[in-house]
Structure 1
Amino acid sequence: MASALTAYDVPEIRARMTEWARDPGTDGAGNWFRFFVGPRPDDSAGEPAFPPLDDVGATITDTLRAQLPAAELFYVSADLTDLASHAATTLADYRLHPEDLPAPVGFLVYEHPPVAGTASARHDAVSVVSWGLGRGGLWVQAWGAVPDPEPPAVEVGRGLARLSRDYALSQMRKAAALNLPLPTPGNKPASHDDTVDHGAKHILATFLRNAERAPIPPSFAPPHGYEWCGVTPMLFTDMKGWPSSLAEGTSAVDIDAQIALQRTILTTWLLLGQTLVRSEHTRAPRAARRPPPYRTLRPRPRHSRPPRRPPARPHHARRPIPGRRRRGHPRIPPQLGRARPLAQAVLPEPR
């Protein structure tokens, strides 16, 4: 089991991802997205962020290359992670507004994954979220740690990457011609060696289409240690709530897990604007390159008071300046404010 992330890990994780996003080689983000995502995934149809002639993989890469270095950094403590997960269960559909975001461009790391069951066969549960404005609205991208030990697909993929491209493609085409079903307990071969061989051939066939459009990435999993788990382009003006659409054929269990994750991220953003969250500005260790400041976020202690507000100004002094848009505090849905267990756990006792 991977150890919990600390606040000092945040700048290093972001730096590794930024380097990967800028890498033009076969192990960089551009080739990784060409291989795994391609120009037009089936589940991108109808997304306003991806016009019909768009190269989806290239668009995602360009967005990450621009947003990761500019992102404001956040670290969410285990207590606040658990609080957000619990509060998300009371959150009904909510229209997101730009002022609800803790920063226009952000990179947020949870001390531990906030929602179980958001893993696929190739990555662990989501623990990192990045966001920023992109074509079609707000882009929210989720990342999961590559598990240790790594999945068999990663080992097979790295083995293929060491072969010549022509030979690797010939082996993958032979495997695809066998038309083997996905290994399951019902069609499991008799011996262990045959089971391994069956699984390897199925992986070869699965990635044939990918290898025909781009070189196989040498690391197969991104070298910074986090798998990209998807992007959710959202329109502020046309969204009655999260989650967004999910691909057809997704199981009910996976849909429930993704809904819980997306609502937890949204709830985390809303909580960051409340007095019940304590924000600490932190700097990375001296040894880190160009240590950027970042914020560690924790629930405010139960008996601490929120900061005093300055005396109210006269009514006439608070009129908005003509031509300038007033920006209010992030709105929090009333159902969160009504959650008695949540309020009792984090707000000071009334006097």
Structure 2
Amino acid sequence: MTELARHAASSLPDYRLHPEDLPSPVGFMVYAQPPVPGTASGPHDDVCIVSWGPGRGGVWVHTWAPTSMSPAQRGVVQIGRNLAKADHHDALQRARAAAARNLPTPSPDNKPATSEEAADLWGAHLLTTWLPNLERAPIPPSFCPPHGYEWCALTPMEFTEMEGWPDGVSDNQSSVAAEAKIALQRTILATWLLMGQTLVHSERVHAPRAARRRIETLDPAIGTAVRYIDLRRSRTEPSDHSTDDREKSGREYHHSWIVRGHWRNQYYPSRNENRPIWIDWHRAGPDDKPLIGGERVNVLRR
């Protein structure tokens, strides 16, 4: 599905996004591998999770990427998680006490003599840094979540023409980064459109018993069933030449052939406009005739 979405996005025509194009008003999807490289930076790998929900003028899309943190970053994260679990009043008092010490910012010039002093200096510095946030609200438990993925970007996607669509691309980004972000956004839209077509099969699958027990231990309110979206490859006769037409015209096909996947605009009277429909690759022509180029064999190499 990831490969199909990436391939379909490369030829996706400009299209006006509609609310009914979304699989659900609020949701998230996980790609088996990052569909577009170069879509995350810093301590992240490429984006492979997308979540969305309603926003002003359309839908707001959040992207997430796996983290690859250094030991120092993991230490900061652990402090944040401990603060998130602590009582807000106690955490606020500790941060104010650290700020009152007015300690210098850690640097090579004021390196502490012992590791204990270094840890104390870094801890006081972090508490002082987080004091303004603590005074406004508690640090949320999702502070660098333990599932290994971090939020990367927010892109407001309006229900408007795709041309010039990616509002989330800033002017100071490199052309390579901007193109990667545009490709990712088109891939997201292509995925939504593919999920809404009949070339996919939906099946509700329940988690195994051991997994259900682990999930219920974490949070009984979390559902233990998921919806699998499976692709169905079609094998059809040529749509523009029916059997009756061939008999009337006297045309006879001596081979069958493979039609590559492509987008086709289909008119919707309820919208009074066209909507892109993905036509998956399929075998066309008579079943009893040889396939041009020989039989197709898919090979998985590792």
What TM-score range do you get, normalising by the shorter chain? 0.5 to 0.7
The one of 14, 35, 52 aligned to 1:131: 52
Paired residue total: 238
Contact 2:207 2:226 in 1 (8 A): no
Match of 1:297 in 2: 230
Q: 1 CA distance for matches of 2:177 and 2:96?
A: 32
Secondary structure at the aligned position of 1:166 is classed as: helix
Where structure 1 has 5 or more consecutive residues not aligned to the other structure, the ranges are 1-79, 310-319, 338-342
After superposition, the C-alpha distances for 1:200-244 in whole angstroms (9 at most, x for unaligned) are 788666645433322234563235654333433332146535312
Deviation at 1:157, TM superposition (A): 2.1
* TM-score after normalising by structure 1: 0.50
Contact 2:92 2:131 in 1 (8 A): no
Q: Percent identity at matched positions?
A: 46
Whichever structure has more strand as a proportion of its residues is 2
Secondary structure at the aligned position of 1:242 is classed as: coil
The one of 164, 168, 179 aligned to 1:245: 168
Match of 1:349 in 2: 283
* TM-score after normalising by structure 2: 0.56
The one of 28, 32, 41 aligned to 1:111: 32
The answer to whether 1:233 aligns with 2:156 is yes
The one of 171, 182, 188 aligned to 2:98: 171
Deviation at 1:173, TM superposition (A): 7.5
One-letter code aligned to 1:168:
A
Whichever structure has more helix as a proportion of its residues is 1
Q: 2 CA distance for matches of 1:234 and 1:256?
A: 17
The one of 181, 190, 200 aligned to 1:278: 200
Match of 2:17 in 1: 96
Where structure 2 has 5 or more consecutive residues not aligned to the other structure, the ranges are 213-221, 240-267, 286-302
Contact 2:64 2:151 in 1 (8 A): yes
One-letter code aligned to 1:278:
V
After superposition, the C-alpha distances for 1:286-342 in whole angstroms (9 at most, x for unaligned) are 6436544513233x44xx4269x9xxxxxxxxxx9xxx946988524xxxx7xxxxx
Matches within 5 A, 1:1-351: 80-91=1-12, 93-121=14-42, 124-146=45-67, 151-158=74-81, 164-171=91-98, 178=104, 207-217=130-140, 220-222=143-145, 226-237=149-160, 240-246=163-169, 249-250=172-173, 254-274=177-197, 277-285=199-207, 287=209, 288=212, 290-292=223-225, 294-298=227-231, 300-301=232-233, 304-305=234-235, 325=270, 330-332=275-277, 347-351=281-285
Bigger-Rg structure (1/2) = 2
Contact 2:195 2:229 in 1 (8 A): no
Q: 1 CA distance for matches of 2:183 and 2:58?
A: 22
Deviation at 1:262, TM superposition (A): 1.5
Q: What is the Cα-based RMSD across aligned positions, in Å? A: 4.7
